[in-house]
Amino acid sequence: MKITEQDIEHITNLGVTRDQVEQQFQILKQGIPFTKLRSAATKGNGLIVLKPEEQEQLVQHYEDRKDGINPLKFTPASGAATRMFKFLFEFVEDYNPNDGSINAYINKKGVPELRLFFVGLESFPFYKKIRARIKEKYGKDGADINENRLRFVKIMLEEKELNFGKKPKGLFPFHSYKKYVAAAFEEHLFEGALYATKGTVARLHFTVSKEHQKRFVKRFHKRKDYIERKTGVNFDISYSYQDSATDTVAITESNTLLRDENGKLVFRPGGHGALIKNLNEQDADIIFIKNIDNVVVNKYKTQVAHYKKMLAGKLLSLQATSFEYLKKIDKQRDLLDNEHREIAAFLKNDLCLRLPANHESLDQSTQIAHYRNLLDRPIRVCGMVKNEGEPGGGPFWVLDEDGTESLQIIESVQINPDDKEQQEILKNATHFNPVDIICGVKNYKGEKYNLLNYVDYKAGFIASKSYQGKKIKALEHPGLWNGAMAHWNTIFIEVPLLTFNPVKTVNDLLKPAHQVK
């Protein structure tokens, strides 16, 4: 690996160090070891399924204590909406009205999602706006149905028109109400008002693209009075964007650093795992994490909020017990036999931690030090939905390098595709990660943990990408809810599918959770 003086100047301007570049280069060259799954986390084996009365108790526990804590809703929202329209971009590129009807094109190309799009056309929240634009641009409909549908999609996507593909996903129209159309951003405000409040103030933080921050701010000020009047709360909104210092290098197929046509090192965004730095900068007692595209229309929000409060209640309950034990350890140093057994049972049964096999043979002071180390960590309670075949991560027991086992959220890309046993564990997983996470980020003294100390930096991702038509290897940081939280205490609780309604393609907006009527 050759680094020039020009490279060092470029690296320094980005806030990256030479050591970081060299380390990233070695990781890309050598590869990242696959995660070793021990088993899927299932009911009674690392996954908690609560009875209705238990859920209600936890909701009430949160309600009783929330005004004494400082909550925050943290929403990654930097993504553009481009991927939502992949099949529509391909349609505009390929379809020629002179070659036949759109139905013929769909049948020939095998594009059922395009058929669904046109069947549900009038149910999309942007339908009326685009129809008005067609009328304004072309006058009365004189064209046939195929030409009008093509016009519709072009107005959606073309740069000189609505340019939906380049809009931030958070500002894309999601839901059509009687008097207005709501973006995902606004729906998060309505939802956050139901649980991320202290007194009459709701605090929300959005990680956005630097070039789009002004648009989010403008949208908030435009809708602020209406939303605050409807919810009865005031909003404290903050924003951040992914630091360029978290960008990573890439390498070519011949294992050389990727450079542009001018010989300059190419850096790429390091994935959502880079946001652990943004999360670490937030001042809050508990933090709710949820993706920007996972929202519902108003009629379902109370139900969704119920489960957020349930997870938060569980976190506060576990945290309170952990804090009491830590205070006892720090005050007494020595523990009575019954206290030893009590803490060990709490670690095993409540925090789902597995003590090392040699734990019983250790002397008492070593055991106590081990208890303290396990208790004194950030904690997260994660909602998990039943597996419906969605792509993405799930809850698993993982065998760590030191021989211990821990609960982790693992993506399929982290599993060896050639290991049949590992793939069988992956295939038989019963639950899926919807990114529904409540975080406790302070210790019993009220001091904030440095979250960067709890990252498994070996749990990153190497992605196959392309650059100027050539294949490259790109490095992504350990995912925000994967390796970036690897050394947290982790609790998995089943939540219903109602809480998981992401909009990955535009057709997802046709699902019941996104339809007002």
pTM of the entire structure?
0.93
42-57 exposure pattern, b = at least 16 Cβ within 10 A, e = fewer:
beeebbbeeeeeebee
The number of angstroms, rounded, from the C-alpha of 143 to the middle of its chain's C-alpha atoms is 43
Number of other residues whose CB lies within 10 A of the CB of residue 105: 18
- How many other C-beta atoms lie within 10 A of the C-beta of residue 492? 26
What are the structure tokens assigned to 487, written together?
């050394």
Please tell me the distance from the alpha carbon of residue 445 to that of residue 466, in angstroms, as a whole number: 48
Which sign, positive or negative, has the C-alpha torsion 141, 145, 150, 155? positive
Cα angle 17, 18, 20 (rounded to 5 degrees) comes to 65
List the one residue out of 400, 407, 336 whose CA is nearest residue 368: 336
Residue 338 has a pLDDT of 82
Burial pattern 84-102, b for ≥16 Cβ within 10 A else e, equals bbebbeebeeebeeeeeeb
Cβ atoms of 105 and 99 within 8 Å: the answer is yes
Q: In 10 A of CB 137, how many CB atoms?
A: 10
Torsion of CA 417, 422, 428, 429, to 10 degrees: -90
Helix (H) or strand (E) holding 229: helix 213-231
pLDDT of the residue at 141? 59
One-letter amino acid for residue 262 of the chain? N
Question: Tokens 């606004």 correspond to what residue?
Answer: 186
What would the two tokens of residue 175 be?
A: 């839901």
Dist. CA 297–CA 190, nearest whole Å = 10
pLDDT average per 10 residues of sequence, the chain (517 residues): 83 87 89 92 95 97 94 92 92 91 93 96 95 86 82 94 92 94 96 96 95 94 95 96 86 89 87 92 97 95 97 98 94 78 92 82 85 95 88 86 87 91 92 96 96 91 85 90 95 96 95 93
513-517: long-range pairs with CB below 8 Å, 24+: 513/296, 513/297, 513/300, 514/174, 514/175, 514/296, 514/297, 515/123, 515/297, 516/175, 516/176, 516/177, 516/178, 516/297, 516/298, 516/299
Tokens of residue 6, six digits = 């020009």
Length of the chain: 517
Residue 380: DSSP 8-state: E
CA-to-CA distance for 504 and 15, rounded, in angstroms? Answer: 33
